[in-house]
């Protein structure tokens, strides 16, 4: 194939074997978040660039360097969504889902950032996220943290740890920002190029540096928790009590700042040591000022997001068996004379067994070639439709996996056999097989 027809760098194809694992992970995450009363929302991939500049922050790496932004034919600046919260808030505001009580929304889909591709990090990547509007107490913070932990356990990830911090109010963070800048300027010669670039624009991000040479400077920086306003400190203390009461272990990480300007108060991350320096598996926090910033009334809010590529990679590396793929049964047709009856049988089986994965032979072929196709399909049973069996009201059934003798079953018995097979397959899928 010509190189011009290859996928773009950082844009990955998800092939059938991988798709099966993705589907299992997505379904378990979806099932868990809906049990907590969240409802799905879907919003566009494209938004006005202004939405992200106003919400994420104009001096963040995402807005400055990573967004896919272009002018449309009318000259309007548009951006492929780099994250989900801003679009979700915009959609919720536009359609009246924010005010008038608590609203719990979740979403899943692709996001886009122009950054260096690496394992688990692509230019088109996928996230699951959720947002809650209208709840200002630490109880919803605790519930979201516990829910996200349950989501990770649901897909088999148990070797993750919870890290917490509080960023306080914007006013408290602004005062801390000046204190941090003064400290960093006093250690200017010890800063790397990235930290020096951020010193005047986004100094809190220096605390999140993964450069080992910066560790001494970062460890000596003033504590953000010491700069919290009284209300934020009380909120954080109450959150910790909620988590303690629930038996949820956590570590306070005073250098956890998150990369988006809209965060306030609680921020949290679930972290894995299996991902190297970029160990975040799932992250979130409060953004109590964002709704007003985007044109709504002041509204408390909290949310989270998780990258599906990383989750799927961790699940795969954990050794969990791949999901069952392929058909349950394959319909073999013995000649053109019975083709019409074979088609009608296939549709009757699909009507009676909606969960059955039945693949019918197409394109003709000899018995031998059809059985080869049946074997390649992964089917447990080959169903053989032939004139003699039809005349007797029966269908031939050959177990392709145990090598037993072919049987002749009436349609009722065949339905029972296939129903049991489909049920076992569903059970295996639930167990992770």
Tell me the pLDDT of the chain averaged across its residues.
88
- Mean pLDDT along residues 69-97: 94
Instruction: Quote the pTM value.
Output: 0.85
**pLDDT at residue 118, as a whole number:** 76
Phi and psi based region of residue 24 (left: phi greater than 0; alpha: psi -120 to 50; beta: remaining):
alpha
d(CA 184, CA 225): 18
Comparing C-alpha atoms, which of 69, 64, 82, 70 is closest to residue 122?
A: 82
* Percent of the chain scoring above 70 in pLDDT: 93
Concatenating the DSSP letter of every residue in 399-410 gives ETTT----EEEE
CATH 3.30.930.10 domain locations along the chain: 3-168+228-317
**pLDDT at residue 59, as a whole number:** 59
Lowest-confidence region among 118-127, 160-169, 270-279, 292-301: 270-279
**pLDDT at residue 433, as a whole number:** 42
Whether pLDDT at 137 is above 60: yes
pLDDT digits (tens, 9 = 90+) for 359-391: 998 888 888 898 899 888 888 888 998 888 888
Angle between helices 308-317 and 16-35 (to 10 degrees): 110
Lowest-confidence region among 88-92, 322-326, 359-363: 322-326
**For residues 170 and 72, which has the higher predicted lDDT (pLDDT)?**
72
pLDDT digits (tens, 9 = 90+) for 233-273: 999 999 999 999 999 999 999 888 776 667 889 999 999 88
d(CA 262, CA 428): 43
Whether pLDDT at 421 is above 50: yes
Lowest-confidence region among 56-65, 195-204, 275-284: 56-65
* Percent of the chain scoring above 90 in pLDDT: 47
**pLDDT at residue 432, as a whole number:** 47
**pLDDT at residue 430, as a whole number:** 57
CATH 3.40.50.800 domain locations along the chain: 329-431
Three-class DSSP category at 328: coil
pLDDT digits (tens, 9 = 90+) for 177-225: 888 888 888 888 888 888 888 887 778 878 877 788 888 888 888 888 8
CATH class of 329-431: alpha beta
Q: Assess contact for 305 and 282: CB atoms under 8 A.
A: yes
Whether pLDDT at 406 is above 50: yes
CATH 3.30.930.10 for the 3-168+228-317 domain, yes or no? yes
CA 59 to centroid of chain Cα atoms: 26
Lowest-confidence region among 87-96, 135-144, 215-224: 215-224
Q: Are strands 329-333 and 358-360 parallel, antiparallel or unpaired?
A: parallel
Phi and psi based region of residue 321 (left: phi greater than 0; alpha: psi -120 to 50; beta: remaining):
beta
- Mean pLDDT along residues 333-353: 89
Whether pLDDT at 310 is above 50: yes
């Amino acid at each position: 194939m010509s190189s011009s027809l290859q996928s773009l760098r950082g844009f990955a194809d998800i092939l059938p074997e991988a798709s099966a694992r993705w589907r299992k992970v997505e379904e378990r995450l979806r099932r868990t978040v809906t049990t907590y009363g969240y409802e799905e929302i879907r919003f566009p991939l494209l938004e006005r660039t202004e939405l992200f500049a106003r919400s994420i922050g104009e001096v963040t790496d995402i807005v400055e360097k990573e967004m896919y932004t272009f002018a449309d034919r009318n000259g309007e600046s548009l951006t492929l969504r780099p994250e989900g919260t801003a679009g979700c808030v915009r959609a919720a505001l536009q359609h009246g889902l924010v005010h008038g009580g608590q609203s719990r929304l979740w979403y899943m889909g692709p996001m886009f950032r122009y950054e260096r591709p690496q394992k688990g990090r692509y230019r088109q990547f996928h996230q699951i996220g959720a947002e809650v509007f209208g709840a200002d107490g630490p109880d919803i913070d605790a519930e979201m943290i516990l829910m996200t932990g349950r989501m990770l356990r649901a897909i088999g990830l148990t070797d993750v740890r919870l890290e917490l911090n509080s960023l306080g109010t914007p006013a408290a963070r602004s005062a801390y920002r000046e204190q941090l800048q003064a400290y960093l300027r006093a250690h200017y010669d010890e800063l790397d190029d990235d930290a020096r670039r951020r010193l005047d624009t986004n100094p809190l991000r220096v605390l999140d540096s993964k450069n080992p040479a910066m560790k001494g400077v970062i460890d000596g920086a003033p504590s953000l928790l010491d700069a919290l306003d009284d209300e934020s400190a009380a909120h954080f203390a109450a959150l910790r009590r909620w988590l303690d009461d629930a038996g949820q272990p956590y570590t306070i990480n005073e250098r956890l700042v998150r990369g988006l300007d809209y965060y306030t108060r609680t921020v949290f991350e679930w972290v894995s040591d299996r991902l190297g320096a970029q160990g975040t598996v799932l992250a979130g926090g409060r953004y109590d000022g964002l709704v007003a910033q985007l044109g709504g009334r002041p509204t408390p809010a909290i949310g989270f997001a998780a990258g599906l590529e990383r989750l799927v990679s961790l699940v795969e590396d954990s050794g969990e068996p791949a999901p069952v793929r392929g058909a349950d049964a394959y319909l073999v047709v013995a000649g053109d004379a019975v083709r019409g009856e074979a088609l009608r049988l296939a549709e009757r089986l699909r009507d009676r067994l909606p969960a059955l994965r039945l693949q019918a032979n197409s394109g003709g072929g000899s018995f031998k070639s059809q059985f080869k196709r049946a074997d390649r399909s992964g089917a447990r049973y080959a169903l053989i439709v032939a004139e003699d069996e039809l005349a007797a009201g029966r269908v031939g059934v050959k177990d392709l996996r145990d090598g037993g003798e072919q049987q002749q079953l009436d349609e009722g018995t065949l339905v029972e056999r296939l129903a049991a097979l489909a049920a076992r397959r569903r059970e295996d899928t639930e167990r992770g097989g």
